[in-house]
Amino acid sequence: MKVMEKISCGLFILTARTGGRDNGCVVNTVMQVTAAPNRIAVAVNKQNCTHDMMLETKEFNVSVLDEASQFSTFKNFGFQSGRDADKFAAISFARSANGLAYLTQECNGYISARIVETVDVGTHTLFIAEVTDGAVLSGRPSATYSFYHEHIKPAAAPAQKKGFICVICGYIYEGDVLPPDFICPICKHPASDFRPL
């Protein structure tokens, strides 16, 4: 699993809207898969509220996070559920032609897309989508997953208790043994993404 961290990937805020309600989540799997037609693929955890909204509406936006991104943005979109919180309450955003939100700060561009196919890949759904709109918002470099770990995510606090820490979001599971089927309640990653304190 360690070598998987060497795969270059970016960080994005994925947004959707249903019933007059906006929601979004952090994803790290967005890629262009064809240029003609212009299509992208996005992998989304099935436990995310945004996932269900995308299935319902067949549309989404991707905000491409840049290196000016703050940890508070990751906490807002990644460490709480849109089922319980309004993630857009304190965020600067605009709406694209499809009516969906995209970030206007900490973001160097956005892409709007319409879903044309879904693939069940276990814990996630892979959405294949046609690009319908998009714009470059700044010239700042995109934030990579590596950049996030080195420059945005705060260093883990020294361990005081016995337990395990999620290397993705920093959630701490207290106890001597981490159950092998444990799922992080914050970022939904499996026990394999936890390290002993």
Q: Is the pLDDT of residue 4 over 90?
A: no
- pLDDT higher at 185 or 129: 129
d(CA 45, CA 39): 20
d(CA 124, CA 169): 18
Q: In this prediction, what percent of the chain has a pLDDT beyond 90?
A: 83
197 by DSSP, 3-state: which?
coil
Q: Count of CB atoms within 10 A of residue 189's CB? A: 18
Q: For residue 157, give Cα distances in angstroms to 17, 154, 177, 179.
A: 36, 9, 20, 23
Rounded to an integer, the average pLDDT of 16-45 is 96
Mean pLDDT of the chain: 93
Cβ atoms 56, 18 nearer than 8 A = yes
d(CA 95, CA 104): 10
Helix (H) / strand (E) containing 55: helix 49-57
Give residue 20's pLDDT.
Answer: 95
Taking only the tens place, the pLDDT of each residue in 94-148 is 999 999 999 999 999 999 999 999 999 999 999 999 999 999 999 999 999 889 9
Q: Is the pLDDT of residue 18 over 70?
A: yes
Taking only the tens place, the pLDDT of each residue in 59-103 is 999 999 999 999 999 999 999 999 999 999 999 999 999 999 999
Residue 80 corresponds to which tokens in the numbers above?
A: 């709480």
> Of the ranges 47-56, 69-78, 155-164, which one carries the lowest mean pLDDT score?
155-164
Rg over alpha carbons for the chain, rounded to the nearest Å, is: 17
Give residue 8's pLDDT.
Answer: 80
Give residue 197's pLDDT.
Answer: 87
Give residue 160's pLDDT.
Answer: 63
- Grade residue 159 by pLDDT with cuts at 50, 70 and 90: low
- Grade residue 6 by pLDDT with cuts at 50, 70 and 90: confident
Q: Is the pLDDT of residue 161 over 80?
A: no
Q: Is the pLDDT of residue 3 over 90?
A: no
